[in-house]
Structure 1
Amino acid sequence: MKCDRISALPDSLIAMILSYLPIGDSVKTSVLSKRWEFLWLEVSRLDLDAIKYFSRDEEALARFMHMFLELNRGSSCLQKFKIKYAHKSHNPRLLSILSKKIKNDDSINDCNKRVMEWITEVVHRGVQHLDVEAVGIIQSYPGFKNIMYSPSVDFLPKYVYVSKILVSLKLVNVGLEDPKFVVSLPSLKIMHLENISYKNHGGLLIIKMLISASPVLEDLTLDFPDFTEPKEIVFWQEFSFSVPTMPKSNFDLVQGNYFTWKPEEMDLTNVPRCMKSTLVYVKINKLITKEESGIKVVNYFLENSAVLKKLTMFLTHSSMVIQEPESYMKLLTSTKLSRNCQVFIH
């Protein structure tokens, strides 16, 4: 006779195991026995792919979330909430192509409104890790993933700006706006913002506000496809804020072909405080090597980073060694302030 070792475990450990299962499988365990009936409500992680329900039965997802939040009221164990959902496009031609599959705009708006309400509720209940990704409806169907379109924007609930418990905030394709009140994120250690829309083009102001309100921030990743002036990217030269606890930061300065710019126009004379004392790793994903400015960017980091240990750069043209030997040699012979710094070229 086989021994049921799992049932011998304490409820807290079983709930932890259920947290790593797809939520549908966790709910199914409720029929095993009376003891298991509500154990799935004690999961610490909730990972929802609302896109799967959008084309089938979004009401089922709404009923599930309503039940989960109602039964968990006052005793929520939820620590991480991750959701991926679809938002509509403003491209009527593409929408007409998929008209048989896509719900009407009212249905889409209702779904998005619910998602924002769920985010507000879980943050209010003290969730520590919030991960939100919006995917355009057009791109959620096979064959349309690479089509450019203008999505609508769902702005993050303002309650998120004052969470005292939030430790990690990861956002993709959503909107941020100035909440018009003092932002306070005293526990936030991780902040990843990718392809964010900023209301009234106030991106730099909002980013400054968020970072300044996060005194223990350790890991920062920013993606800037929405900015039209590259000079704005070097915002640390203009802002006086500093986060001494942040050893890791990643800035994706330019992505795609949204605009044409001349890198040499960027002022690289001011040296941020972090480069003199804490910057240890730099990764340049797409180095522009056809112009002298590409070399200047590399030299800027090497000549001003006192404790830099590793600089990795990925060239935009793999044949640079043959076609541009002078530029390649300049990269290899750049003056380094940190003698221990290693340079890797790919």
Structure 2
Amino acid sequence: MPGIDRISQLPESLLTHILSYLPTKQSVKTSALSTRWKNLWLSVPVLDLDCGIFPFGEDQVLLNFIDRLLEFNPDTRLLKVKVKCAWMEIDGLKDRIRTLIHRGPRHLDVESCTKYIDSDTEVYPYLEFVPLNLYTSKTLVTLKLTFSGLEDPGFVCMPCLKSMTLVEVHFRDDVTLEKLVSGCPVLEELTLVRDMHSSFVGDVDRFMSVKSGSLKRFHVPLWHGTYCSSSVKCTLEIDAPGLEHMTLGENQFDSIIVVQKLISLFMVDLDISFAVDFGELFLYGISSVGHMIISEKTVKALELYSKVVGLIPKFNNLSLLEAVFPGNSLQFLPAFLECCPNLKHLILEVVYSREMEDAFELTNVPGCFLSTLECVELKRIHDWEEEEMKVATYFLENAAVLKKLTLSLTNYPRYVPDEEILYKVNEVKKCSPTCQIHPDWELC
């Protein structure tokens, strides 16, 4: 019948479950719908609170709000807590966070306040440290801390924590991260973003150790920008023999050391430079990988390493390689592929430069061309000039077991007619009539 409020007739447990998908601000607004909804938001097992919605300078209003929520059902467990208070220094909030942790959440996401007050005589940093009871939570499954401070925990035991994300977290000393990770026996995923320009006094964040027997995925994502640089030098040490996926997407560390060979490593995605002095420890540590993605920046670092040190370690298990080669490093391609004796699939992007036309003359033939390389995809072919087609010809003339070559265009305007491209493709195909050539006219 029209006019019947069927939603309000649902069980309270179902209504609070629905409200748990809303930010707390929106959940509170439902209290104005009817008497039935007046206090429902107080029973929602999720707190998703942006402190910025409260009037500036009226911290007590915020604290009273959290207190009311905590006192309404003191025995009810909060399954998820998300609190954002960036750039707001709130005296007393740490005590509320401590109480929220005590309520046994499975998921905790806290964005704390970090401020730097500059003057003519001093730099005064303000940082909110997380409550110490965090380190012994027996319920947390996922943890995300942003702009927070971590004191020396002394003892860490989080037996259920599987995923941890630390974004620009300030550590009291260099062993805090190692203690934190080591105290999570089932931790499987770690995301780490350094504070690249810390103004805190003290010789900290110079050495970071990720030591875990359970860790499977480790990510250092692109966060600050492609050309980031740090005012604080830092060495990253990785001791995680069970690691399966690793992403190093930024130069947040000036040196990276892999303590022992990562024999379980399946995929690594690198967009970094690395110190030549520590290159052997790093490259040998990841040499068991099966799928590798390397950026233009990493290719240049590998090329420099090969010139200064010599041979790059063999990647005997590598079957899939995705690489971006700058035109002036293309001559390094055969030498690098020589280190991949069992490569089956290559996805190659060449950053074309008209000033480096001689770079497209490739002659050396790596061993994988004669035995394993079956599929090659050349990405971002711009205007299909003769020099660029030499790269395709190089693979067709020399890869003895090649079965498929894919030529992928870019999203730039193409000024060469399809007929001319088809003519060039047919000319290239004469080099290897048995190979299937797939020109991709769509965007890739």
TM-score, normalised on structure 2?
0.56
Change (3 A) 1:256 1:225: farther
| 1:12 CA drift (Å) | 1.4
CA–CA separation in structure 1 for the residues paired with 2:162 and 2:140: 8
Contact between 1:116 and 1:156, CA under 8 Å: does it hold in 2? yes
1:232 aligns with 2:207: yes
**Equivalent of 2:268, from 282, 294, 313?**
282
Change (3 A) 1:51 1:151: farther
CA–CA separation in structure 2 for the residues paired with 1:344 and 1:174: 40
AA paired with 2:263? K
1:50 aligns with 2:32: no
Contact between 1:230 and 1:266, CA under 8 Å: does it hold in 2? no
AA paired with 2:79? Q
Match of 1:82 in 2: 82
Contact between 2:45 and 2:76, CA under 8 Å: does it hold in 1? no
AA paired with 2:291? K
1:128 aligns with 2:100: no
| 1:84 CA drift (Å) | 1.3
Instruction: Please list every run of 5 or more consecutive structure 2 residues that lacks an aligned counterpart in the other structure.
Output: 118-122, 236-250, 301-323, 352-444
Match of 1:333 in 2: 337
CA–CA separation in structure 2 for the residues paired with 1:18 and 1:232: 43
SS in 2 for 1:73: coil
Superposition RMSD in Å: 3.9
Alignment of 1:304-323 (within 5 A): 304-306=287-289, 308-313=290-295, 315=297, 321-323=326-328
CA–CA separation in structure 2 for the residues paired with 1:208 and 1:320: 36
- Per-residue CA deviation, residues 158-182 of structure 1 (Å, 9 max, x unaligned), is 01010100111111111111133x2
Contact between 1:134 and 1:173, CA under 8 Å: does it hold in 2? yes
| 1:337 CA drift (Å) | 7.7
Change (3 A) 1:71 1:286: same
CA–CA separation in structure 2 for the residues paired with 1:231 and 1:341: 39
CA–CA separation in structure 1 for the residues paired with 2:92 and 2:168: 22
**Equivalent of 1:174, from 148, 158, 167?**
148
Match of 2:219 in 1: 250
| 1:4 CA drift (Å) | 2.4
Change (3 A) 1:344 1:69: farther
Instruction: Please list every run of 5 or more consecutive structure 1 residues that lacks an aligned counterpart in the other structure.
Output: 89-107, 140-148
Match of 2:434 in 1: none
Match of 2:248 in 1: none
Match of 2:65 in 1: 64
Change (3 A) 1:337 1:258: farther
CA–CA separation in structure 2 for the residues paired with 1:298 and 1:330: 22
Structure with higher helix content: 1
| 1:69 CA drift (Å) | 0.8
Match of 1:214 in 2: 184
Change (3 A) 1:7 1:260: closer
- Per-residue CA deviation, residues 100-128 of structure 1 (Å, 9 max, x unaligned), is xxxxxxxx4xx1x3221121011101011
| 1:61 CA drift (Å) | 1.9
1:119 aligns with 2:88: no
AA paired with 1:11? E
Change (3 A) 1:168 1:326: same
CA–CA separation in structure 1 for the residues paired with 2:182 and 2:335: 35
SS in 2 for 1:215: coil
AA paired with 1:247? K
AA paired with 1:176? L
Contact between 1:116 and 1:157, CA under 8 Å: does it hold in 2? yes
CA–CA separation in structure 2 for the residues paired with 1:23 and 1:17: 12
Contact between 1:19 and 1:44, CA under 8 Å: does it hold in 2? yes
TM-score, normalised on structure 1?
0.70
Match of 1:92 in 2: none
Contact between 1:311 and 1:343, CA under 8 Å: does it hold in 2? no
Match of 2:21 in 1: 20
Contact between 1:231 and 1:266, CA under 8 Å: does it hold in 2? no
- Per-residue CA deviation, residues 175-213 of structure 1 (Å, 9 max, x unaligned), is 111133x211001011111211111xx23x111211121
SS in 2 for 1:83: strand
SS in 1 for 2:104: coil
SS in 2 for 1:152: strand
CA–CA separation in structure 2 for the residues paired with 1:331 and 1:32: 70
Higher relative contact order (CA 8 A, sep 6+): 1
- Larger radius of gyration, structure 1 or 2? 2
Change (3 A) 1:197 1:261: closer
Structure with higher strand content: 2
CA–CA separation in structure 2 for the residues paired with 1:259 and 1:174: 18
AA paired with 1:190? S
Greater shift in the superposed pair: 222-231 or 16-25: 222-231
AA paired with 1:60? V
Change (3 A) 1:229 1:272: farther
SS in 2 for 1:130: strand
CA–CA separation in structure 2 for the residues paired with 1:225 and 1:331: 37
Match of 2:169 in 1: 196
Match of 1:186 in 2: 159
**Equivalent of 1:272, from 246, 254, 260?**
260
Contact between 1:222 and 1:252, CA under 8 Å: does it hold in 2? yes
CA–CA separation in structure 2 for the residues paired with 1:79 and 1:133: 18
